[in-house]
A = this chain, B = another copy of it.
């Protein structure tokens, strides 16, 4: 597979008011992403609450996204990783049958691998079940607690996992990230996963990113990339700062669930996060809405 470029969104799992999946929302969601210039959908990940869903629910979500994607308008990447390789293999095989473009594997997050080799061995068991599919490792140590460096992982995985395509890198270790970019003359597709630092990743050579805020603020990042490509760094910095101001509200309003509040704000209602993630109260949403308006960045949000 060619390296991915541009903005790959990590879609939210659409929920009904009663907490059940709202699969019917996915066609509209697909159109929404396309309309906003998104090039891929990384489903069932952190933003997509994969860990909070049952296997059957994840299959339904996957089927709904691939059903929309007959024309391959987007790259659909499905996160199949978990703590049991048996379950991940089942999920990988089902993903292949449903026609995803790639799968992604997470470091197991209960028993944590302590070396690149241990981590690569775990991933290899899953990857070899779907040799026809590109595999992206999903590096997000803040959630998995697996702190193996990706440079060490690549050194072990390179000979073990023939279908390893690259890494979704959601961590702020640019020394490690650049080392992975440089590894074997840039063999691996390194997808940047921290939206608040896209500009530093671009100067290190990143061409694609996977992000949750791309769901609702795609124009901001399109402009940022454009400014960077033109060498307008002052403008690029200002846009990155606007992205940061937007992201800072996630911290203020309690974390990841704020993403679904932003989706409501831009008109693509996705319901709430499932427990244990904490959702905003109605009062908090009002304060949040006021804070978003005060950012004064309407033109940078995605359009329905």
Task: Give the B-binding residues of A (Cβ under 8 A).
Answer: 46, 51-55, 57, 83-87, 90, 107-114, 118-119, 121-122, 125, 143-145, 172-175, 178-179, 181-182, 196-197, 199-205, 228, 231, 233-234, 236-238, 240-241, 244, 247, 256, 274-278
- Complex interface: chain B residues within 8 A of A277 (CB): 111
Which of B111, B122, B178 is the one whose CB lies under 8 Å from A143?
B111
Which of B85, B179, B237 is the one whose CB lies under 8 Å from A178?
B237
- Complex interface: chain B residues within 8 A of A175 (CB): 196-197, 244, 247
A241 touches B179 (CB 8 A): yes
B199 touches A204 (CB 8 A): yes
How close is A21's CB to chain B, nearest CB, in angstroms?
10
6 additional A-B residue pairs with CB within 8 Å, beyond A57-B86, A109-B110: A51-B108, A125-B275, A178-B244, A181-B237, A182-B237, A205-B234
Question: Known interface pairs A172-B173, A174-B172, A233-B203. Does A83 touch B51 (Cβ–Cβ under 8 Å)?
Answer: yes
A122 touches B203 (CB 8 A): no
- Complex interface: chain B residues within 8 A of A275 (CB): 85, 118, 121-122, 125
- Complex interface: chain B residues within 8 A of A178 (CB): 237, 240-241, 244
